[in-house]
Amino acid sequence: MIVNRVGDISIQFGIDPQEMCKNLDRVDFHEILSFGAETPDCTPENNPLPYAQAYAIAKQALYDVAGLDLDEQAVVTDNQVMSRVYKYKTVDWQRVWLDPVSEIGYYILNGKRSFHGITAECCNNYRYTSLSLPAGDFVVTVAGADSCRVTIGPLRETGVLYDDVPIVSFETAQKAFEEQIERGLLRDVLAVKLCYAPYRDPADENAFYMLPVWFAECVCANTAEYEFEPMTDPLTEEVYEDTRQFGEEVAEGQSGALMDWSATGRRLHEVPDIITWEDIE
């Protein structure tokens, strides 16, 4: 079980590298490089800070804010290297970059909380996007030793109810996903993993049960009739993207059934009866 009694918090340590940009119009990052979980092979623009040092700063900041050990209790899922922020103007539907308004770029470390070596996902369904339960996701922005911001919904583990519980095989969960494919709601499955998902404790609105689930990252649609429309450049008419919706589908680890997103009120995402090994013997 876990608890979150403070909600989401965001704390800036030292200088905010975007302070001078907050009230400006027509400003943006000229470049954002994403490296996933890999170590970046470059430093931010006009900022010689090595990634190893940025990671160490982020690790200390997460511990100071949330008591979280980045090496043992979390995992970085996406490292981003940001350019400086620039002014721009639009000419013939294209951005023309002007002068920078910030002095340096910085790193952003996006990550997830893990429990006993297994990551947690908040599980936001594409058809019910307002539903969000805490899973300990965090974002740490690092520009230097004197400039760091931590945003996190801190979670504290209060106990382990069962060290081991039965879960269904992936083949069972796969059938549930295939049913969504046949209905035309799930158009493509990009990745599937076994992880934890938070469920509400009916007796405490700030407490949650972490239970195993089969978690699928997918391309999805609200209805079977929906067709993805191409998005084209107004000048070249080249297709650069489409209206695909990237979302999540979740099969509950103990039943293999798709997570019920349609329940309302107190039943919304409430913890189900937990099946133990004694129950199936």
| Mean pLDDT of all residues in 182-201 | 90
Position 87 in a domain: yes
Asked if 132 and 186 sit in the same domain, the reply is no
Asked if 16 and 122 sit in the same domain, the reply is yes
Res 204 pLDDT > 90:
no
| Cα Rg of the chain, angstroms | 22
Res 238 pLDDT > 80:
no
Asked if 148 and 181 sit in the same domain, the reply is no
Task: Tell me the pairing of strands 27-29 and 156-157.
Answer: unpaired
Is 61 in a helix, a strand, or coil?
Answer: helix
Is 73 in a helix, a strand, or coil?
Answer: coil
Position 199 in a domain: yes
Asked if 142 and 214 sit in the same domain, the reply is no
124-133 pLDDT per residue, tens: 654 444 455 6
Position 164 in a domain: no
Asked if 100 and 197 sit in the same domain, the reply is no
Task: Report CA-CA distances (Å) from 121 to 112, 133, 177, 197.
Answer: 8, 9, 18, 5
Structure tokens at 136: 């300990």
Position 74 in a domain: yes
Q: How many angstroms separate the CA atoms of 215 and 5, rounded?
A: 26
Q: Please, where are the H alpha helices in 21-79?
A: 51-66
Asked if 113 and 222 sit in the same domain, the reply is no
pLDDT value, residue 219: 86
Residue 230: CB atoms within 10 A of its CB come to: 10
| Mean pLDDT of all residues in 133-157 | 90
Res 56 pLDDT > 90:
yes
Q: Are 15 and 73 in contact (CB under 8 A)?
A: no
In total, how many domains does the chain have? 2
Which of 129, 157, 185 delimits the end of a domain?
157
Residue 281: CB atoms within 10 A of its CB come to: 5
Asked if 11 and 129 sit in the same domain, the reply is yes
Q: Locate tokens 């695909």: which residue?
A: 244
Threshold 0.75, pTM exceeds = yes
Position 66 in a domain: yes
Asked if 153 and 174 sit in the same domain, the reply is no
Q: How many angstroms separate the CA atoms of 163 and 151, rounded?
A: 31
Residue 225 Cα to chain centre, angstroms = 29
Structural domain span for residue 184? 170-280
pLDDT value, residue 242: 61
Which of 157, 183, 209 delimits the end of a domain?
157
Output 264 or 271, whichever has higher pLDDT.
Answer: 271
Q: Which range is least confidently modeled, 18-32, 128-142, 207-221, 243-257?
A: 128-142
Range among 75-84, 120-129, 208-217 rated most confident? 75-84
Position 69 in a domain: yes
Q: How many angstroms separate the CA atoms of 130 and 159, rounded?
A: 29
Q: How many angstroms separate the CA atoms of 10 and 244, rounded?
A: 31
Asked if 22 and 152 sit in the same domain, the reply is yes
pLDDT value, residue 264: 53
Asked if 8 and 128 sit in the same domain, the reply is yes
Range among 121-125, 151-155, 211-215, 237-241 rated most confident? 211-215
Q: How many residues does the chain have?
A: 281
In terms of Cα–Cα distance, which of 14, 12, 21 is closest to 103?
A: 21
Q: Are 136 and 74 in contact (CB under 8 A)?
A: yes
pLDDT value, residue 126: 47
